Structures are given as C-alpha cells and as structure tokens.
A and B are shown apart, each in its own frame.
Chain A
C-alpha cells in the first residue's frame, strides 16, 4: 500500500454566500493518476485552487505528503511540489514561450538543471521548441495547453493538478495531450486530473471521484466507474 500524497479531509469553501465545496474528502496515492469528474459548476476548479493555496478552506484540512497545508502559502506549496495547470491555461500572453517556461521554474535556483529540464520539455513538446521566441498569446489552443503543462512541469512537481486540459481542443490534439499526461505520470509524477469529459478521464486514470454540487458522490476504481450504471447515465450520455 503506497502512502497518500494528498489527503483532503472534510474541506469546505465558499465565495461569499455561495458554498462551492461542501465537505469533501479524498485521498490521492503516490504515483497514481486520479480524476475528479463532474458537471460544470460542481466545484472541481475550486477544489484545485484550495489544493494550490489560491483559495483558503473555511473548514477542514489538506495534507500533502503527511504535512498539513494550513497556513502554507501558495508559493511554498509550489516549492513543496504542488503544481497546477489551471482551467483556461492562463499562459502569460505577452511573454515568450521560453519566458513562460522559465517562470514555471521561478522557485528553483538550480540553473543547470533548469536548463536540462527545458531541453526535456522541448523533447516532450517539439512544437514548443520552434516557437521559443514567440509570444505565448500567439500560440494555438493546443500549443497553449502544451505550454501550460510544460510550464507546470518546470517546477518539478510531485503532484500535478490538471484542470480540464481537453477543453476546447480538437480530438486529435486531446489524444496527443493525454498521451503526454500519461507519460508524465509514468515517470513518477502523481496526477490529479479534473475533467468534464468523464469517459476520457476514466479511461486514462486509476481512480476516480465524481463531484456534484460541492460534494463527492461516487468514488472508486476508474475501470469500475466506467461500468457503473449511475455514471453511464449521468456522465457518459447513455
């Protein structure tokens, strides 16, 4: 039994009066690839922002590698090994591809290894290499998604949070990006994938959580969830 990388214990969060997350608990084991699926507005992005420390929970605790994240700033969390590819990619539009990637390594000081990681990113995403000096905002949606993932990997995360990486992309590009995400997971990064495309997410992950209006309603092995009648009806359109 591998020890958990991330544990959420009865976490609540709201925006003013709107309760977005209502006491969710989940456990992500080391090296696994998990997904959090659910309809638009279920609270998935909010959950990732809580893990990254951009939002603070009102109640409950988040543990990362056995350590409570209470009072830990978002900067520190990046340094500890939590990295997020946010929904909508959030590339720095006026900065070059190279600068975007360098900012991913903002918390690191090991210049030589950063250089090596840059090369590795370019091996993973050859399209980005040709566009090194191009402004991020000029890239296509697929390239921006690759840049966002490459940038997040530049911090050498132990846990990679991905928020709807397939959003708005052509099927062929989605396939390519998901292959890369699986590769990233296979070489030792734990992944938590948020998706509205439930079928796709369950196909590539080990474990799945289903979120509905701020709560986790179903949880289990992804291959079992794909066969689950409730999920087939609600999320796989059957």
Chain B
C-alpha cells in the first residue's frame, strides 16, 4: 500500500512536470497549428540557463531561476520571430520541418557548450530545505522538492487557466485560436498574441526544466525525452485544449510511474508512445478535445 501510494505521488510529480511542458505544446498548436518540436529544447535550456546563472554568474538560486525563466520566454519569442513567423502562410509541413530543425540545432548547441554528460549541478544546488522529506498519511515519503513541484504545478495551472479565461491577453489568445481573421478585424495584433503565447508556454517549460534538473540530472537529450512524453500528454488531452494538456500530463505521469513500477522500468518511454497511439486510434480528438480542438 505504501509503495502504491509512493508511486501515485511520484506519478503526480512527474504528471505536474509533464503538464507544465504539455501546455506549451498545446497553446502554440492552438494559435498557429504548429507542433513546436523545439519546445522540449526550451525546457532543457531552462535547466541549463539556471545552471549557468548559478555556476558562472554566481547568482543566488532564486535569481538564477527567475533569470532562466525570463531567458526561456525570450528564447521562445525569438524562435517564433525568426523561424516560424516568416512561414506563417507557407504550407504547414514547412513550419513543422523547421521546428524539427530548430530542435536539433538547440540540442546540439547545448551539447557543444556544456557537453553530453549528465550534470547534477542543479540537484546539488537546491537548498537543504528542499532535500528534507515528510511522511504523508499512508506512510509514503515525500521530499519537500516533490511537494513543492506538485504545489507549484497546481498553482501555475490554475493561474494559467485564470489568465486564459479572464484577462485581455487570454481572451485575445482564445480569439486567435478560434478565428485569426476575425481576431484581426477586432483590432487584435495577432503576431503579438502569438508571441505572448510562445513566451508563456516557454516560461512554463523552463519551470519544468528547472524542476527536472533539481530532481534528476541535466543533459542535452532531456528535452527530447521529456518533450516526447509531454507532447503525448498534449495529444492525450486533445491538442489545442489547455485543460486537456494538464489532464493528459497527470494521466501520463501516473501511468508511466505505475508501468515502470509494476511492469518494468524498461517500458518507461514506451508507455507514453503506447498511450499516444491508443488515443490516436480510439479517440483522435483526445480526452477533452472535439473534432477540431480550438478551445485553447
């Protein structure tokens, strides 16, 4: 029982991380119908930027985290500006191939700068506080870090939901996702809204990258592996649907941990693929998506 509970908690932590990354995929897909394959790399840079600010610039942890989030937001905006915006009216395949290209460039750039070996710098840099553990009812152990991840992920998801449903920019994002021409006729600067979408998605991805960096290791391929899983989560929830991406993340996180625990840890990565394929075959619009998921 305790083991099972521990697995569920681990699944929730992983699920929160997937959810944070998945909303970035789904938001961008919602506004420009592009699967931004470079999103996983932005997540990875979130971890490396924090490491850089800590190790080279000697920032305190909180400042390193903040700087990294802002840098990633900027990175998302710049990628859109130079790589995707010129292709806005091009066939969708061109933008998709460009996204794969950007992803490869960024991954190899990280490898060139920081090397391929996994780093534990962030895991070592987290404060002593985060390394403490609590025993939750049922007897399972939970580190403060994992607890913080769950809480922070929930707060950010709630915040994002509020932002999308209540604020001016959130309404503009939904308008762009549903009908870009009509949005322009309302006086909405669609390019700016798309930029803001990249910024927000990338910032959330950076937060997830820092979490993973503190929990596991940092390496250039981390964005690929977690990115694929988070993308699967977005598809699972219904691509373009933000609540769906959150739900998909949590479902996938729990499924992955349980699968690894009770079947074999070798299936970890396969589980996200299997779930994604099952969804595509049996419920192509995803758990919460409609035939065309434009609810953003």
Contacts and interface: CB of A to CB of B under 8 A. Distances in A.
A205 B252 CA distance: 61
B39 interface: no
Contacts of B178: 92-95
Interface stretch (A73-81, A186-194, A211-219): A73-81
Given A86-B182, A90-B179, A92-B182, A75 B174 contact: no
A90 B171 contact: no
A74 B294 CA distance: 24
Contacts of A152: 185
B174 A92 contact: yes
A106 B182 contact: no
A216 to B, nearest CB: 24
A84 B296 CA distance: 25
A95 B187 contact: no
A192 to B, nearest CB: 14
A191 B55 CA distance: 64
Interface residues of B, number: 19
- What class of interface size applies to chain A in its complex with B? 20 to 34
B188 A86 contact: no
Which of B172, B182, B185, B188 has the most chain A CB atoms closer than 10 A to its own CB? Answer: B185
B181 interface: yes
B82 interface: no
B189 interface: yes
A43 interface: no
A46 interface: no
B184 A74 contact: yes
Interface string B171-206: 110110011011111111100000000000000000
Contacts of B181: 54, 86, 90
B295 interface: yes
A99 interface: yes
Contacts of A150: none
B242 to A, nearest CB: 12
A223 interface: no
Contact of A94 (B182, B189, B294): B294
Contacts of B189: 73, 75
A47 interface: no
Contacts of B174: 92, 94-95
A34 to B, nearest CB: 20
For B175, B178, B186, which residue has the most chain A Cβ atoms within 10 angstroms? B186
Contacts of A94: 174, 178, 294-296
Nearest to A148: B182
Given A90-B179, A92-B175, A94-B174, A103 B186 contact: yes
A151 B182 CA distance: 11
B185 A79 contact: no
A107 interface: yes
A83 B294 CA distance: 25
Contacts of B179: 90-93
Given A95-B175, A99-B171, A103-B175, A75 B188 contact: yes
Given A94-B178, A94-B295, A107 B171 contact: no
Contacts of A166: none
Contacts of B175: 92, 95, 103
Given A92-B175, A99-B171, A104 B182 contact: no
Given A86-B182, A92-B182, A106 B295 contact: no
Given A94-B174, A94-B295, A95-B175, A107 B187 contact: yes
A77 B175 CA distance: 18
A78 B294 contact: no
B188 A54 contact: no
Contacts of B188: 75, 103, 106
B184, B187, B294: most-surrounded residue (chain A CB, <10 A): B187
8 contacts: A86-B185, A90-B181, A95-B171, A95-B175, A102-B171, A103-B175, A103-B186, A106-B168
Given A75-B189, A92-B175, 11 more contacts: A75-B184, A78-B185, A91-B182, A92-B179, A92-B182, A95-B178, A102-B171, A103-B172, A103-B183, A104-B186, A155-B187
Task: Sort A-B residue pairs by CB-CB distance and give the 4 closest, nearest first.
Answer: A78-B187, A90-B182, A107-B187, A75-B187
